[in-house]
Amino acid sequence: MILNKKYFLIFVVLISLFSISDLHSQGRQKIIQLSGVVVGQDSISGVGGVHIYVPKAGRGTTSNPYGYFAMPVLANDSIIVSAIGYQKQNFIMPGDKGESVTLFIELKPDTTILPELEIFPYPTEELFKKAVLAIELPNRQDLDNMEKSLDKDLLRRMYNNEPMSANMNYKYFMDQQMMATSTKYQLPSNPLLNPFAWVKFIKAIKNGDFKKKD
C-alpha cells in the first residue's frame, strides 16, 4: 500500500513538472500584432473578404472591403491567406520583427481553364443524323426565283421607278413654300414673255435639236 502511494506521488510530481514547463514556454512566446493590406494583381485596389488565419491555432480574420486586416499572432505561427479566385499563400511569422508587423500582400489570380463543352439540341447522335437527313433543300425553281429577285438590273429599275419618299415630299413642299415666300410681292413670271428663253428656243431650232433622230 505504501509502495503504491509512493508511485502515485512520483507520477503527480512528473505531471506537475511537465505542466509548469509547458506554461513557462507558452509565457515566453512572443505576441505580434499583425496588420496589413491585401491587393489584387494591379497593386492598386484592395481585395475584400480575404481569409487570413492560423490553421494550427484555429484563429483568424477577414479583410474589410478595402483589403485591410489586423489580428494578433504568435512568433513562428504559420499563416495562410486565401480568397476565392486567387492563389493561396502561406508564410511563417518571424519572431525578430518587433511587436507590430505590417504587410502588403499581393494576390495572384487563380485561373482555371475548363474543358470545352458542346451543347446540341438533340440528346443522341442518331437523332441528330435523322434531323439532318430530314432537312428539305430548296428546289431549283425556288433558287431561280431568288436569283431573279436579286437581279441587279431589276433592282435598279425598281429603285428608279420608286415614288417620292416622305423625306422627298417634305423637301419638295418646303422648296415650294420658300419659293412662294420669296415671290410673295412679285408678279407671277411667264416663260413665254422671257426674251432669253425665246433666244434659246430659236437657237435650238436652228441647231436641229428638235429633229427626230433615227
Could you give the CA distance from residue 75 to residue 59 in angstroms, rounded to a whole number? 14
Task: Examine residue 50 and state whether it is found in any structural domain, yes or no.
Answer: yes
Q: How confident is the model at residue 107 (pLDDT cuts 50, 70, 90)?
A: very high
- Whether residue 7 has pLDDT greater than 60: no
Could you give the CA distance from residue 62 to residue 101 in angstroms, rounded to a whole number? 17
Q: In the prediction, which pLDDT does 3 show? A: 47
Instruction: Write the pLDDT tens digit of every residue in 45-100.
Output: 889 999 999 998 889 999 999 999 999 999 889 999 999 989 999 999 988 878 89
Q: How many folded domains does the chain comprise?
A: 1
Task: Examine residue 80 and state whether it is found in any structural domain, yes or no.
Answer: yes
CATH number, domain with residue 47: 2.60.40.10
Task: Examine residue 89 and state whether it is found in any structural domain, yes or no.
Answer: yes
Q: Are 34 and 103 in contact (CB under 8 A)?
A: yes
Instruction: Write the pLDDT tens digit of every residue in 124-163.
Output: 888 888 888 888 777 777 777 877 778 888 788 877 777 7
Task: Examine residue 45 and state whether it is found in any structural domain, yes or no.
Answer: yes
Phi, psi (deg, nearest 5) at residue 82: -140, 150
Task: Examine residue 162 and state whether it is found in any structural domain, yes or no.
Answer: no
Could you give the CA distance from residue 50 to residue 81 in angstroms, rounded to a whole number? 7
Task: Examine residue 5 and state whether it is found in any structural domain, yes or no.
Answer: no
Instruction: Write the pLDDT tens digit of every residue in 30-41.
Output: 889 999 999 988
Task: Examine residue 181 and state whether it is found in any structural domain, yes or no.
Answer: no
Q: In the prediction, which pLDDT does 170 show? A: 85
Three-point CA angle 188, 189, 193, nearest 5°: 135
Q: How confident is the model at residue 23 (pLDDT cuts 50, 70, 90)?
A: very low
As beta bridge partners, residue 73 has 32
Task: Examine residue 64 and state whether it is found in any structural domain, yes or no.
Answer: yes
Could you give the CA distance from residue 39 to residue 111 in angstroms, rounded to a whole number? 17
Give the residue numbers spanning the domain of 89: 29-106
Cell digits for 210? 428638235
Q: Which position has the grid cell 415666300?
A: 181
Q: 64: how many CB neighbours lie within 10 A of its CB? A: 15
